[in-house]
Amino acid sequence: MDEIIRVNDVSMRFNLAQEKTETLKEYTVKLLTHKLFFNEFFALKHVSFNVHRGESVALIGRNGSGKSTMLKVIAGVMYPSSGNVRVNGEIAPLIELGAGFDMDLTARENVFLNGAVLGHDRDYMMEHFDRIIDFAELRDFVDVPVKNFSSGMIARLGFSIATEVQADILVCDEVLAVGDFMFQQKCHRRMEEMLSGGTTLLFVSHDINQVQELCQRAVWLDHGNLRADGPSREVCAEYVEAMKAGQA
């Protein structure tokens, strides 16, 4: 099979200040006089795995296990402290829906802005505009500034843009929690359509049933370490048992 993502010995280190500083001035003075000390925190520790074109892979694990950090490294939002990631395709990141919106612009304007960020020209976005707005169920709000939208409306627009435009890899972090139940079902069907069309999926969710429905394979991260990698039902069952036993 054609390899589309290779994660090679990736570690991500963050420096956490040991003591609280009240002001930016105090922080700067301590930093310049070498009186500011840090604790090292590793969100990821020497993680390696690869993904083949057309695979659907879930990253599972408890909060703080490194799942979202791993997605951001793969999407190019963050750079690893060591190791490297190679991606052979275009990514549609659904990590923080609506994070790239300009709140002062309307939904219409943000569609074209986001399209440009994803590398699509105005003609391409014009061709897909009606489908984006109709899927997001925002036809009555298309010329309203996004700052007046609810968080659910913003998430729906973000999901619709990211999944309407063509991409080789869909990177999703808890995005199927957007909107009401009916809209969640619609999002689920959209993702299944993309998978049947050959799109590669990287998916993060705490909903184990959803993981098993959408993903063939699961990668279990535990405190930044890769603990298991295999068929989703087997890895999910191992993860649930470990959770029950207090071993995860």
Which pLDDT value is given to residue 30? 61
Q: Which domains does the chain have, with CATH numbers?
A: 3-244 (3.40.50.300)
Q: Which amino acid is at 140?
A: D
In this structure, which long-range contacts are made by residues 68-75, counting pairs with CB atoms below 8 Å and at least 24 apart in sequence? 68/95, 68/173, 68/204, 69/12, 69/43, 69/44, 70/7, 70/10, 70/44, 70/221, 71/95, 71/171, 71/173, 71/202, 71/204, 73/7, 73/10, 73/12, 73/44, 74/5, 74/7, 74/171, 74/202, 75/171
Which pLDDT value is given to residue 39? 61
Q: What is the pTM of this model?
A: 0.80
Residue with tokens 């990253």: 59
pLDDT tens series, the chain, 248 aa: 689 999 999 999 986 655 565 666 665 656 566 665 556 788 999 999 999 999 999 999 999 899 989 999 998 889 999 999 999 998 877 776 666 789 999 999 999 998 887 778 899 999 999 999 999 999 999 999 999 998 888 888 988 888 887 789 988 887 666 567 788 888 888 888 888 888 999 999 888 998 998 899 999 999 999 999 999 999 999 999 999 998 87
Which pLDDT value is given to residue 112? 93
Which pLDDT value is given to residue 178? 59
Which pLDDT value is given to residue 34? 62
Q: Which amino acid is at 34?
A: H
Which pLDDT value is given to residue 36? 53
Which pLDDT value is given to residue 210? 86
Asked if 222 and 65 touch (Cβ cutoff 8 Å), the reply is yes
Which pLDDT value is given to residue 5? 97
